[in-house]
Amino acid sequence: MSRKIVITGLGALTPIGNDVPAFWKNAVAGVGGIAPITRFDASLFQTRFAGEIRGLDMDAHIPPKEQRHMDPFCQYGIIAAREAIKDAGLDMSRENPWRVGVIVSSGIGGLQILQQQWSNYLGRTTGPKFTPFMIPQMISNILPGRIAIEHGMKGPNFSVVSACATATHSIGVALDTLRAGRADAMVAGGAEGTVLELAIGGFNAMHALSTRNDDPAHASRPFDRDRDGFVLAESAGIVVLETEEHARARGARIYCEMAGFGESDDAHHITAPDPTGEGPAFGMRTAMEDAGLNPSDIDYVNAHGTSTPLNDAGETKAIKMALGEEDARRIAVSSTKSMTGHMLGATGAVEAIACALAIHDGVLPPTINYENPDPACDLDYVPNTAREMKVRAALSNNLGFGGHNATLAFRAYA
Q: Catalytic residue positions?
A: 164, 304, 342
- With residue 351 as reference, give the H or E element that holds it: helix 347-361
- Checking DSSP bridges between strand 393-400 and strand 300-302, what pairing results, if any? parallel
What is the CB neighbour count within 10 angstroms for residue 25?
12
Sequence letter at residue 413:
Y
The gap from C-alpha 333 to its chain's centroid, in whole angstroms, comes to 17
Instruction: Please report, to the nearest 10 degrees, the dihedral formed by the alpha carbons of residues 197, 200, 201, 203 taken in order.
Output: 150
CB-side exposure of 247: number of CA atoms within 13 Å?
26
Buried b (16+ CB within 10 A) or exposed e, 244-271: bebbeebebebbbbbbbbbbbbbeeeee
**What span, in angstroms and rounded, lies between the C-alpha atoms of 317 and 310?**
11
Helices (H) and strands (E) in the chain, counts: 14, 14
> Please, is 124 exposed, middle or buried when counting C-beta atoms within 10 Å of its C-beta (0-12, 13-18, 19+)?
exposed
Q: Are 284 and 319 in contact (CB under 8 A)?
A: yes
Q: Is 333 helix (H, G, I), strand (E, B) or coil?
A: strand
**What span, in angstroms and rounded, lies between the C-alpha atoms of 257 and 411?**
5
**What span, in angstroms and rounded, lies between the C-alpha atoms of 264 and 30?**
32
> Please, is 348 exposed, middle or buried when counting C-beta atoms within 10 Å of its C-beta (0-12, 13-18, 19+)?
buried
Q: Is 269 helix (H, G, I), strand (E, B) or coil?
A: coil
**Which alpha helices (H) appear in 13-155, and where do they start and end?**
20-29, 64-67, 72-88, 111-122, 134-138, 142-151
Q: Are 59 and 41 in contact (CB under 8 A)?
A: no
Q: How long a stretch of residues is the chain?
A: 414
- Checking DSSP bridges between strand 5-13 and strand 235-243, what pairing results, if any? antiparallel
**What span, in angstroms and rounded, lies between the C-alpha atoms of 166 and 164?**
5
